[in-house]
Amino acid sequence: MPKDDMLGPYSEKVMDHFMNPRNMGEIKDADAVGTVGNPACGDVMRLYLKVSDDKILDAKFKTFGCGAAIATSSMATEMIKGKTVDESLKITNEAVAEALDGLPPNKMHCSVLAQEAIEAAINNYKEKSDTKQTSDEK
Ligand code: FES
């Protein structure tokens, strides 16, 4: 089969991250967890973060979804590792798709899952650190 038939509408990078997802799994003692669902298709992504001094040291994900959702989850974890929480919040779904050399237009909605999971996990982290600060102040 010619190579292009295998890839279909997907870039080589999308196929690579789908076939060999980076950072798949769970962080047992995660500092933050975000779970989001895509109402359009019912797919779900959960993102685990290890954070220290507002810097993301580690990120892992579990995604129950299509190939594009898995590839964008994998790329998103690679993109946020080493960044601060505020830098990570600025990552758009378009940026994740671009880092994968693009997604077919009808699969762009899948990349939204990764962006929303980053937001959800960081909100969870911020909520937890606010609670910690308040109790430390007491
Ligand atoms: S079809 Fe559901 S995230 Fe792609």
Per-residue model confidence as pLDDT tens digits over 98-131? 999 999 999 999 999 999 999 999 999 999 988 8
Q: Whose CA is nearest to atom 1 of ligand 1?
A: 66
In the annotation, is 41 catalytic?
A: yes
Q: How far apart are CA 121 and CA 127, in angstroms?
A: 10
Catalytic residue among 41, 98, 101, 131: 41
CATH number of 22-131: 3.90.1010.10
- Ligand 1 site residues, Cβ closer than 6 angstroms: 38, 41, 43, 65-66, 68-69, 110, 113
Distance 43 CA to ligand 1 centre (A): 6
pLDDT in tens, 73-102: 999 999 999 999 999 999 999 999 999 999
Instruction: State the pTM of this model.
Output: 0.91
Classify residue 40 by burial, with Cβ atoms within 10 Å: 0-12, 13-18, 19+.
Answer: exposed
